[in-house]
Amino acid sequence: MKKNKLLFIMIFLLAGCGYRFAGELNLPEGVKTVSISLFENRTGETGLENELTNAFIHEFIRNNCSVINQNQAEAHISGVIYSVLTEIIAHKGIHLSSEQRVIVKINVILKAKDGRILWSGSRIDASQAFEVVNADKPATEQNRQAAITYSSKLLAEKVFNRLSADF
């Protein structure tokens, strides 16, 4: 499993090395280049660390930030996924739900190359509702996974917006 994580990180760092769109970026202390490590997944949700890390890489590149390897970057982003909850939000009778919501919660840190913490965010969450197909568990799980993917994108957007606000 560790080899897969290292391979994943290396591919994205090499693929994104120096890639940048034109435009102005307002991250703490004028940071223009970042590295993003694979999020630590403390949940039972397999593969969520890859999903969330990909969402972060995409969001930063989309917003004109160069995502490069850690040795060359001005700052490094790391994070922990510490909770994935699923809750019922609509019922279809006494024992059946028709809609549920998945909630993903993370902590994120942006550190300068010298180790100083430039920004940190705790208990950041995003959620998305999904349809429950009571007669079809695989369809419900597919809907849940789509909601997790969407929540990952929302988290990346939320963190980027917080990082770039007021700087």
Residue 15 is predicted with a pLDDT of 46
pLDDT digit string, tens, across residues 78-105: 999 999 999 999 988 888 889 999 999 9
Q: Give percent of the chain with pLDDT exceeding 90.
A: 74
Residue 16 is predicted with a pLDDT of 44
Please determine, for residue 6, whether its predicted confidence score (pLDDT) is greater than 50. Answer: no
The model carries a pTM of 0.82
CA separation for the pair 55, 58 (Å, rounded): 5
pLDDT digit string, tens, across residues 111-129: 999 999 999 999 999 999 9
In this prediction, residue 163 has a pLDDT band, given cuts at 50, 70 and 90, of: very high
CA separation for the pair 34, 118 (Å, rounded): 12
What average pLDDT score do residues 151-158 get? 98
Q: Give percent of the chain with pLDDT exceeding 70.
A: 84
In this prediction, residue 1 has a pLDDT band, given cuts at 50, 70 and 90, of: low
Residue 37 is predicted with a pLDDT of 97
Here the contacts of 17-26 (C-beta below 8 Å, separation 24 or greater) are 17/68, 17/69, 17/72, 18/66, 18/68, 19/61, 19/66, 19/67, 20/61, 20/64, 20/65, 20/66, 21/61, 21/64, 22/64, 23/64, 24/64, 25/63, 25/64, 25/65, 25/164, 26/164, 26/167
Residue 48 is predicted with a pLDDT of 97
pLDDT digit string, tens, across residues 8-47: 555 444 444 444 344 456 899 889 999 999 999 999 999 9
Average pLDDT, rounded, for the chain: 87
Reported CATH class of domain 2-164? alpha beta
Taken as a whole, the chain contains a residue count of 167
